[in-house]
Amino acid sequence: MQARYGARPTLLGARTPRVEDDRLLAGRGRYIADVALPGMVEAAFVRSDVPHARVRGVDATAARESPGVRAVFAGSDLDLRAVPDRMPWVRPVQHFPLARDRVRYVGCPLAVVVADDRYLAEDAAELVEADLELLPTVGTAEDALSADAPLLYPEWGDNLLLSVEGDGGEVEAAFEQLRTVSGTFTTRRHTAAPLEGRGVVAEFRDDRLTVWTSTQAAFVVRAMLSAVLGLPERDIRVITPDVGGGFGQKNEIYPEEYLVPWLAMRLRRPVRWIEDRHEHLIAATHARDTSIELSAAVRDDGTIAALRGRVRTDLGSGEIFPAGYGPSLVAVGSLCGPYRIPHQAISVQGVVTNKTPTGGYRGFGGPEGTFAIERLVDKIGRELGIDPLDLRRRMILAPHDLPYETAAGARLESGTHREAFERAVQLGERMLTEERENAGPGAALGVGYATYVEGVASTTFSITGTWSSQDSADVRFDADGGVTVAVGISAMGQGAHTTVATLVAEALAIPMEQVRVVMGDTDTAPFGLGSWASRSTLVAGGAIARAAEVLRRKGTDIAAHLLEASPDDLELVEGRFRVRGSPGSAVSWSQVAQSALNRTFELPPGVEPGLEARATYEPPGLDHVPRPDGKMNAAASYTNATHAAVVRVDTATGVVEVVRYAVVHDCGRVINPLTVTGQIHGGVAQGIGGALHEQLPYEDGQPLATTFTEYVLPSAREIPPMIVEELGGPAPETPFGVKGAGEAGIIGPPAAIAGAVEDALAPLGVTGIDTTPLTPSVLRGLIEEARS
């Protein structure tokens, strides 16, 4: 069918303005807080202010008598099922939307108050008295693993939600023969902090539940609501309005998403809950909080023969679905990066503590794993007296190495690993030279690099125990030649509407203006798993390509009949089926649609009325569970990039300023350069925040950053001028040759910035930077230690 295309400028790669932006910029967006229904009441939650306690009772008498209050419920009042533990390879948590027997973190919901408005609900919530018997607090992962640690789940016998040992036969042989270089690399706890917080609205009408929620995965929410509420999925409709940022944090399913619908069913009226920022910082999932102990068996030339070590993550209380151990597994798969490292044996420990549960956040383990291996490579170079850039050149994959399977099992079919690295080094050296020429005497300037691969469109089975990786598309012509496409992915600001419209227009050779995109509604969109893991473009593109192929074939048959020509003689150009060599003999998609939908007597024999197609795409070659050798190819494809960061360090105050930044990136065929560049800029900004500013410290189980006064986000002032260059061409292993770009920007900054800071402070003898964030107090301590 491809041969039937005529010469036509491709839409792929054009700098097309985003189709969704005019509506959003003009204030016509509809976010969760904009959903208002007749008779709606508001919910407020009573949350634990202690990290660990036994619940002896909840007294809501005064709250129920408060003005405007419609109902108050505690955990013992609910007739809900526990959130199912679908992963047989982890310990069961059996948590409920409201705590019943124990609270295990500050912010855990204990009770809910429903009132005529949020202010009355908040006032009444302060009157609820919880009788809590304090229990010893487990403050850190190390504390949790001590022999006398209090147990969060006594039936487990320890505090390990997940424990996986690495298989180390070939690895141990390398360590017996070669030099060892080791380090421990820590990424502190922080969070996504999207502009829009969480929220839920629910209505139960005509025996059917409709739920509006700010989520990245509407169909997964529907399935979990069915499991907990006991309703068939067909009786639940989940709608995702405009989402003001998700970043993986809204790919979790929260207690409030079960409870607000239950309230709507119980009270027989619409209920809304919108969280405030204080709630968000203590009750929405946190991220990172990972320590990676890593050792390399190193040959004489510095190259790595084998890795061994352990990824240990503080999962908080673990009371979330999907459970927060997924990034630990991705970190394991990220450790080899784009390097020829033949063997690795990495164990994983997911530890529960009395903190807010951890979950997904953009990068999903990639930043942690990249930080560890890039810092270790720098350390190897330093200990062996080898330029760390030359050391990377000795290991990095070249074009002739592809396809290549990493030690973790990832199959890299395509990529520009060496080219991206060399180009980023050129940019880094140029940026550093320019900054030094403009800097005053004694300025502490340095450059650092991070190179990595990122799995995109991964399986979700290993963290959900239920879903794999497929997604769907419905493509339907109207009689006037317009097209409506419905897809199972979600929009959350990443330009998904523009991407889908572009792919449909490209596949059908029609203008983008003729395409209408529908997503985020389980009643109107086909089944899909949502948007996460940089999957949207690849899986939606695969489904669109298959549906478009069906439509092109049918359209060609109809057009050939109308033109009294052979289908093999037609070509599709600019929305018209024309006879090759006879441009005047042509019919448009509109004419074809008229025959298919209205003038059906014009259809050729055997062709059914209608002009629509549904298709599902499942990326091939994925491992949904580990293979017998323990390896796993968990992603449909792999992007690659190298980042270069130039920093200036104030040695008196310890303040780090990122003054220049460059990303050389390869995500296969670029659909829209504006969208890709925007995604990378945003990811780098978040990566700078995690590398230098953002952290969620605890003391005795109490969170110390509960407002934006204590939780420091980077502003525009902290984001430097940025160069973004795209390499590579269409990936041979994917539909349209595309990969993914949603998470690439955030993976490199921690490693690149740490390397740059170490380079800037090398004259002072500062080495071994192995922890982020690099706050001023941390840097001052390192400088003072080196000087002493």
753 and 640 inside one domain: yes
Q: Which residues, other chains included, contact 531 with Cβ-Cβ below 8 Å and sequence gap of 6+?
A: 216, 217, 246, 489, 490, 491, 492, 494, 496, 742
Pick the closest to residue 498 from 672, 248, 363, 341 (CA basis): 672
Q: Which of 678, 675, 680, 682 is nearest to 12 (CA)?
A: 675
Is 566 part of any domain? yes
- Domain stop point among 594, 617, 640: 617
Q: What pLDDT band is residue 3 in, cutting at 50, 70 and 90? A: very low
Three-class secondary structure assignment of 421-468: HHHHHHHHHHHHHHHHHHCCCCCEEEEEEEEEEEEEEECCHHHHCCCC
Residue located via tokens 């050389």: 664
Residues 130 and 142 in one domain: no
Task: Name the residue range of residue 304's domain.
Answer: 137-188+286-387
Residues 682 and 778 grouped into a single domain: yes
Q: Is the pLDDT of residue 4 over 50?
A: no
Report percent pLDDT > 90 for the chain: 95
Nearest 5°: phi and psi at 441? -65, 140
**CATH of residue 644:** 3.30.365.10
Give the separation between CA 559 and CA 339, rounded to whole angstroms: 52
HSE of 783, CA atoms in CB hemisphere, 13 A = 21
- Tens digits of per-residue pLDDT, 78-125? 999 999 998 888 999 999 999 999 999 999 999 999 999 999 999 999
What does the pLDDT read at residue 696?
A: 98
Task: Tell me what the mean pLDDT of segment 482-486 comes to.
Answer: 98
List, in order, residues 6 or more apart from 546 with CB less than 8 Å away.
Answer: 473, 613, 615, 616, 617
Alpha helices, DSSP H only, in 352-405? 366-384, 388-395
| Residue 170 reports pLDDT greater than 80 | yes
Residue 237, domain member (yes or no): yes
Query: Mean pLDDT across the chain, nearest whole number?
Result: 96
Same domain, 264 and 382: no
Q: Tokens 């304090």: give the residue.
A: 134
Do the domain assignments include residue 461? no
581 and 674 housed in the same domain: no
Burial class (CB in 10 A: 0-12, 13-18, 19+), 364: buried
Mean pLDDT of 489-506: 96
Which two structure tokens, joined as six digits, stand for 110? 């204990």
Domain boundary among 617, 647, 680: 617
Residue 456 has pLDDT above 90, yes or no: yes
Fill in the DSSP letter of residue 401.
G
Nearest CA to 360 out of 216, 249, 504, 205 is that of 249
pLDDT average, residue stretch 589-605: 97
The whole-number pLDDT of residue 1 equals: 33
pLDDT digits (tens, 9 = 90+) for 397-445: 999 999 999 999 999 999 999 999 999 999 999 999 999 999 988 889 9
pLDDT at 271 over 70: yes
Q: Is residue 455 part of a domain?
A: no
Sheet of strand 612-617: strand arrangement: 515-518, 483-487, 471-477, 612-617
Of 333, 364, 387, the residue at which a domain comes to its end is 387
**Does the structure show a pLDDT above 70 at 8?**
no
Q: Does 677 lie in the same domain as 530?
A: no
Same domain, 707 and 759: yes
Is the pLDDT reported for residue 6 higher than 60?
Answer: no
The whole-number average pLDDT for the span 59-76 is 97
Our CA dihedral for 246, 250, 256, 257, rounded to 10 degrees, sits at 110
For 716-729, what is the mean pLDDT?
94
Segment (H or E) for 25: helix 21-25
Q: What is the mean pLDDT of residues 515-540?
A: 97
Structure tokens at 665: 């990136």
Could you report the per-residue pLDDT of 373-399, keeping only the tens digit for each?
Answer: 999 999 999 999 999 999 999 999 999
Average pLDDT over residues 344-358: 98
Q: Are residues 478 and 586 in the same domain?
A: yes
pTM of the model: 0.96
Rounded Cα distance between 8 and 66, Å, is 68
* Residues 11/505, Cβ–Cβ less than 8 Å: yes
Q: Is 459 within a domain? A: no
Q: Is there a single domain that holds both residue 121 and residue 267?
A: yes
Any domain includes 315: yes
Domain count, the chain: 4
- The pLDDT-based confidence of 2 (bands split at 50, 70, 90) is very low
Contact 668, 414 (CB under 8 A): yes
Instruction: Provide the pLDDT for residue 7.
Output: 52
Contact status, residue 496 vs residue 486, Cβ threshold 8 Å: no
30, 412, 492, 678 from 26: Cα distances, Å: 11, 43, 17, 20
- pLDDT, tens digit (0-9, with 9 covering 90-100), for 283-325: 999 999 999 999 999 999 999 999 999 999 999 999 999 999 9
Whether 321 maps to a domain, the answer reads yes
Same domain, residue pair 715 and 782: yes
Whether residues 687 and 765 fall in one domain: yes
- pLDDT higher than threshold 90 for residue 549: yes
Q: What is the mean pLDDT of residues 198-224?
A: 98
Same domain, 165 and 142: yes
Structure tokens at 695: 């952290």
Question: Residue 87 maps to which CATH number?
Answer: 3.90.1170.50
Query: Is 465 part of a structural domain of the chain?
Result: no
Task: Specify the residue for token string 């410290």.
Answer: 697
